[in-house]
Amino acid sequence: MGARAVLAEADISRALTRIAHEILEANRGADGLVLLGIPTRGVNLADRLAALIERFSGTAVPTGALDVTMYRDDLSRHPTRTPRPTQIPDGGIDGRVVVLVDDVLFSGRSIGAALDALKDIGRPSAVRLAILIDRGHRELPIRPDYVGKNLPSARSERVNVSLAEVDGTDAVTIEEAA
């Protein structure tokens, strides 16, 4: 069975625009925000959200990358990818509202690992979660604050997010796993 398109470029753009507005509304502006993307595609999504927030509010929002590879509790079951550098913006995260950004929320284990990683970096005043695709099947009590699209899926299916910065095109597809 081939991949079925779920979101096209325009759909992703609309979802990110909505998420940016929701972040601004919930935070009552952009002051005190830090966006941390989870590699790989979460970093690109965080950069896009920061650009949108700056466009809508006139305030630049610092962004960074939070690699969670070595904090995962399922390393023995899944192949480990090469860790990427964690990049925390100047000024750190202490006392700031950190919005974690990722492409797909599935079991919640990556976000659980991200929360553990944040403890080693600093103490934000609050942590929020922005996700492009929420596909369900949570194994941990993790709930996103901002969702681009809820995409109920079977555990046997694979959700693929492609972004122009990494893959040359913006798209979300779903396919039966091999």
Q: Provide the CATH number for the domain around residue 156.
A: 3.40.50.2020
Instruction: Strand 126-134: give its sheet, edge to edge.
Output: 63-65, 33-37, 97-105, 126-134, 146-150
Q: Does residue 30 belong to any structural domain of this protein?
A: yes
Calpha distance 25→10 (Å, rounded): 23
pLDDT of 129-152, one tens digit each? 999 999 989 989 999 999 999 998
Q: Does residue 64 belong to any structural domain of this protein?
A: yes
Helix axes 41-57, 9-27, angle to 10 degrees: 60
Q: How is residue 15 written in tokens?
A: 């979802």
Give the model's pLDDT for residue 168: 96
Q: Count of CB atoms within 10 A of residue 171's CB?
A: 18
Calpha distance 35→42 (Å, rounded): 10
Calpha distance 133→61 (Å, rounded): 23
Calpha distance 143→164 (Å, rounded): 27
% of residues, the chain, pLDDT over 90: 83
Q: Does residue 124 belong to any structural domain of this protein?
A: yes
Q: Does residue 77 belong to any structural domain of this protein?
A: no
Q: Does residue 37 belong to any structural domain of this protein?
A: yes
Q: What is the average per-residue pLDDT within 38-43?
A: 95
pLDDT of 72-126, one tens digit each? 766 566 666 677 788 999 999 999 999 999 999 999 999 999 999 999 999 999 9
Q: How is residue 49 written in tokens?
A: 């959200």
Output the CA angle 98-102-106, nearest 5 degrees: 120
Give the model's pLDDT for residue 2: 80
Q: Does residue 80 belong to any structural domain of this protein?
A: no
| Burial grade of 119 (CB within 10 A; 0-12, 13-18, 19 or more) | exposed
Could you tell me where the DSSP H helices lie in 81-139? 109-121
Q: How many domains does the chain have?
A: 1
Q: Does residue 78 belong to any structural domain of this protein?
A: no
Question: Which residue segment(s) compose the domain that 30 sits in?
Answer: 4-71+86-176
- Name which of 25-34, 39-48, 52-61, 64-73 the model is least confident about: 64-73
What is the pTM assigned to this prediction? 0.93
Q: Does residue 118 belong to any structural domain of this protein?
A: yes
